[in-house]
Amino acid sequence: MKWNVLNEQMLHGGDYNPDQWLDRPDILEKDIELMKASHVNAASVGIFAWAALEPEEGRYEFDWLEKIINNLYDNGIYTVLATPSGARPVWMALNHPEVLRVGPDLVRNHMGARHNHCYTSPYYREKVWNIDKKLSERFGRHPGVILWHLSNEYGGECYCPLCQQEFRNWLKKKYGTIEALNKQWWTSFWSHTYSSFDQIEPPIPKGELSVHGLVLDWRRFVTDRTVDFCAWEKAAVRAGGSDVPVTTNLMGFYDGLNYFKFRDVLDIVSWDNYPFWHRNPADESDTAIQAAASHDLMRSIKQEPFLLMESVPGAVNWQPVCRLKKPGMHELSSLQAVAHGSNSVQYFQWRKSRGSSEKFHGAVVGHDGTGNTRMFREITALGKRLENLKALTASTVKPEAAIIFDWENRWALDQMQGLLNNSFENMGRPNDPKHYFPTILDNYSAFWRMGIPVDLVDMSCDFSSYKLVIAPMLYMQRENIVQKLRSFVENGGTLVGTYWSGLVNENDLCHQSFNPFGMQDLFGLYSEEIDALWPDQKNWLVMKDDGRRYELTDLCDIVKISTAEVLACYADDFYAGAPALTKNSFGKGTAYYLAARAGRDFFFDFYNALTKDLDVTRSLGSSELPANVTASLRIGPDAQFVIVQNYNAAPVSFTAAAALTDFETGEAVSVINLQPYGVRIFYKN
């Protein structure tokens, strides 16, 4: 494996589409000149190049690609080589329409767009296998090729007869008998009992959406199908003789796939990051927090450094309003990725295309074709800086705290009817009416403000290395989570649980018990009822020790205490005085229970005190971080690096509590001065 190359330096570069410019040797030559000028050392090539690689069925044209890869390599630029399966050539769609996707309306698409293919179609799989294997045979041992970029942003789903049949096979494998399926899906409700697997259709707007077990299993199946397709592509490049590591570009919190299931197929995780910078220029923290959490989620999949595969130089072209990155923001947002464990800064795209839908998407090189732009200069400066950060590539982020974010739990919460409902958009699926995602981010925000590294793990992960695990809204229980959390606390861990936890099993079937199921002795309480509030209604959590009040929204759980100690109570409604925050000893550890949805002010105060108690490592020791400034920590075999980031448009200066040496200048530092949107990297002594 060529891990050595990936660990030797920060990669800097991005999506490069020379196949759009094969008739312009002058442009291809200029590309190399500008890549060298901007300190680019990696180009992701061939992502949507199938039509150029196989212009007609069975006729492969790889010579142009060889020239490109050789030329890049001769000029010190590595190739991240893509398999072209993210979009198919016209001839294929016309000759074999079965490669095209069928939508939830059960109508087959026409040729067009990308990601418009069936992951089951044997013909598509065969064509993908052939071209992937041939690419591997020809280029898989080329010294310039350091990484396989499998397809592009796998996503979406297909409802064709073949996929439907695969779904039925998947169900048969999972349940064994139709009786077992009927029981877990509770199909006797509304007389939806099946008598054979052949009768089952996927969930579709004009058909069945009310059987929650069906909807969940379909979404799991879609993940498994996609992982299977990804594994197929990996097998094809291995069959071609290449042992170069594989990745695929994921999409952060994208709802459609459970990315933790890609853990074993991918050798390295990479992802595409497009935050809405400057949505609120006076306070970038919301955007910064969401981007930071996304990086942490992606890193947590393999608990290893990852690659930032795409980000935009300048402005994207698909956000509602496509703002420019203000001077300095490009470097800050790029180094934010590095701070959270990325070993690269890569862009979509190297050069703007002349036509089609992305012609105005930000790029390193614009239609002017020169390096004479503000963005090019900023990218060049960043490229230079990245060259000096080699030492960081051997380090990673090793948090002592984790927040559980679980895709399947999210799906179950989204479709659950009750408590909080909103309009049914998104193909009959409600759109996060329970606010699971913002709740995750609210918990996360406290750690960002304190500069405490945190993992975002799902229920399949191992929690034993953490001091603190936070499990917001653990509605669904799967992957033996009850036992795992119990032993985590028993062995001395600290757990924070919340309202609306432990209601259903992995098939969304309610437990016949008070909730949280299997954890009542762990928290020393049980929930008897839960109240839901309209958006304009509030309650308050009042701390018993000092009377501090925090606003509560959304959901208020009314719990009965057995052994827990009450730390705070509700101030309002018929449950005023009932417990709102509790603490319980269990084995060698402690379990807190937050009964209602609190805001970021509460989480900051609560986790600030708790992490001090637990002595959870802060990136900058006990330094008080100014507003909109955070610090991250990468731990290497020989050194620790603190990356301090200023999300303010103004300079900031504060005193560090830890002894620091500036990694880039060697200067010993006690007062940290940061430029507007500035980033500094320190050795932690």
Contact partner at residue 400 from ligand GLA, Zn ion, none, CB < 5 to 8 Å by partner kind: none
Q: Which does 310 bind (CB under 5 to 8 A by kind): ligand GLA, Zn ion, none?
A: ligand GLA
Q: Give the shortest CB-126-to-Zn ion separation in angstroms.
A: 15
- Under rule CB under 6 A, which residues in 401-420 are in contact with ligand GLA? none
Asked if 316 interacts with ligand GLA (CB under 6 A), we say yes
Span interacting with Zn ion, options 156-164, 521-529, 554-562, 594-602, rule CB under 5 A: 156-164
- What residues from 117 to 146 belong to the interface with Zn ion (CB under 5 A)? 118, 120
Question: Taking CB under 5 A as the rule, does residue 158 contact Zn ion?
Answer: yes
Our CB check for ligand GLA shows the closer of 151 and 182 to be 151
Q: 3-state SS string over 250-267?
A: ECCCCCCCCHHHHCCCCC
Q: Are 334 and 345 within 8 A, CB to CB?
A: yes
Contact at 8 Å (CB) between 594 and 499?
yes
Residue 178 near residue 160 (C-beta atoms within 8 A): no
Residue 554 contacts which entry, Zn ion, ligand GLA, none (Cβ below 5-8 A, type-dependent): none
Closer to ligand GLA at the Cβ: 316 or 394?
316
* Distance of closest approach, residue 251 Cβ to Zn ion, in angstroms: 21
* Tokens matching residue 26: 């002058």
Size of interface with ligand GLA, in residues (CB under 6 A): 11
CB of 93 to Zn ion, least distance (A): 14
N- to C-terminal Cα separation, the chain: 33
Shortest separation between residue 211's beta carbon and ligand GLA, angstroms: 34
166 assigned to active site: no
Report DSSP letters for 367-415, one per residue.
TT-SS-SHHHHHHHHHHHHHHTTGGGGG-B---SEEEE--HHHHHHHHH
**Cβ distance 563 to 526 under 8 Å?**
no
Residue 120 binding partner per list Zn ion, ligand GLA, none, with a CB distance cut-off of 5 to 8 Å that depends on partner kind: Zn ion
Q: How far is CA 280 from CA 272, 283, 314, 444, 674, in A?
A: 22, 6, 17, 19, 20
Q: Which stretch binds Zn ion (CB under 5 A): 158-166, 328-336, 420-428, 572-580?
A: 158-166
Judge whether 417 and 363 are in contact, CB under 8 Å. no
Binding-site partner at residue 118 among Zn ion, ligand GLA, none, CB < 5 to 8 Å by type? Zn ion
Q: Are 659 and 665 in contact (CB under 8 A)?
A: no
What residue 344 binds from ligand GLA, Zn ion, none (CB within 5 to 8 A, per partner kind)? none
| Angle, alpha carbons 134-272-114 (nearest 5°) | 55
Helix (H, G, I), strand (E, B) or coil at 500: coil
**285 interface partner picked from ligand GLA, Zn ion, none, CB below 5 to 8 A per type:** none
Q: Where does this chain touch Zn ion (CB under 5 A) — which range of 114-122, 356-364, 412-420, 675-683? A: 114-122
Cα 51 to Cα 56: distance, rounded to the nearest angstrom: 8
590's contact among Zn ion, ligand GLA, none, with CB below 5 to 8 A by partner kind, is none
Selecting among 54, 98, 153, 233, the annotated active-site residue is 153
Say how many residues touch Zn ion, by CB under 5 A: 5
The C-alpha R_g of the chain, in whole angstroms, comes to 26
User: Both tokens of residue 145?
Assistant: 């090729």
Structure tokens at 336: 């934010």
Please select the residue that binds Zn ion; options are 52, 53, 163, 595, rule is CB under 5 A: 163
Q: In one letter, which amino acid is 311?
A: S
Selected binder of ligand GLA within 274, 360, 514, 604 (CB under 6 A): 274
Residue 310 annotated in active site: yes
Q: Which residues make Cβ contacts (< 8 Å) with residue 643, sequence separation at least 6?
A: 335, 338, 339, 619, 631, 632, 633, 634, 679, 680, 681, 682
Can you tell me the distance from the alpha carbon of 82 to that of 263, in angstroms, rounded to the nearest whole number?
A: 19
Q: How far is the CB of 147 from ligand GLA (least distance, A)?
A: 16
60, 26 in Cβ contact below 8 A?
Answer: no
Residue 274's binding partner among ligand GLA, Zn ion, none (Cβ under 5 to 8 angstroms by kind) is: ligand GLA
CA distance 47 to 88: 11
Interactions with Zn ion, residue window 575-604 (CB under 5 A): none
For ligand GLA, which residue of 54, 153, 442, 506 counts as binding (CB under 6 A)?
A: 153
Smallest gap from Cβ 228 to ligand GLA, in A, equals 21
* Residues 170, 180: Cα–Cα separation, whole Å: 14
Choose, from 54, 208, 233, 310, the residue flagged as catalytic: 310
Of the pair 163, 178, the CB lying nearest Zn ion is at: 163
| Helices 374-387, 329-339: inter-axial angle, 10-degree rounding | 30
Read off the DSSP letter of residue 464. Answer: T
Strand order through the sheet with 307-310: 249-250, 270-272, 307-310
Choice between 226 and 630, CB closer to Zn ion: 226
Among 17, 44, 152, 515, binds ligand GLA (CB under 6 A): 152
Using CB under 6 A as the binding rule, the residues of this chain from 331 to 390 that contact ligand GLA are 348, 358, 361
Q: Which is nearer to ligand GLA, 270 or 439 (CB)?
A: 270
What binding mask, one character per residue, do residues 227-256 give for ligand GLA by CB under 6 A, x or -?
A: ----------------------x-------
Contact 664, 623 (CB under 8 A): no
Q: Per CB under 6 A, does 19 bind ligand GLA? A: no
Are the C-beta atoms of residues 273 and 337 closer than 8 Å to each other?
yes
DSSP 526-545: EEEEEEE--TT--EEEEETT
Interaction mask 10-39, Zn ion, x per CB under 5 A: ------------------------------
Identify which range of 123-131, 310-318, 406-414, 443-451 contacts ligand GLA by CB under 6 A.
Answer: 310-318
Binding site for Zn ion (CB under 5 A): 118, 120, 158, 160, 163
Binding site for ligand GLA (CB under 6 A): 152-153, 249, 272, 274, 310, 316, 318, 348, 358, 361
The set of catalytic residues is: 153, 310
